[in-house]
Chains A and B, each alone.
Chain A
Amino acid sequence: MSVRFIIERLMQALLTMLMLSIIVFGLSRLTGDPINLMAPMEASPEDIARIKASLGLDKPLLTQYWIYISNAIQGDFGQSIKWDRSAAQMLLERFPATVVLSITSMALGLLIALPIGIWSAVKRDTWFDNAGKIVALAGQSMPTFWFGILLILFFSLYIPLFPTSGYGFDIHLVLPTITLGAFVAASIMRVTRSAMLDALETDYVRTARAKGVPEWRVITVHALKNAAIPILTITALQAATVLRGAVVTETVFAWPGIGKIAIDAVYGRDFPLVQGAVLMMGMIFLVVNLIVDVLYVFLDPRISYIKR
Chain B
Amino acid sequence: MTFVHQDVWHWQIAAYLFLGGLGGSTFAISAILHLFEECDKKTLSIAVLSSLGFLALGTIFLLADMLQPMKAMYALTNPNSWIFWGVIFINFYFLAAIVYLIPLLEMWPNLLPVIKKIPANILELLEKFNRLAALVGSAAGFLIAIYTGLLISAAPAISFWNTPALPLLFVISGFSTGAAYLLWLTSFSSNAMSDQVMDKLEQLDAALIVSELVVLGAYFNFAFFLPTGARESAEFLFHSPVFIVGFFIAGLLIPLAIESYGIFFTKNSKKSLSLIKTASILVLIGGFLLRLYVLKAGLYQYPW
* A is bound by B: no
A residues adjacent to B (C-beta < 8 A): none
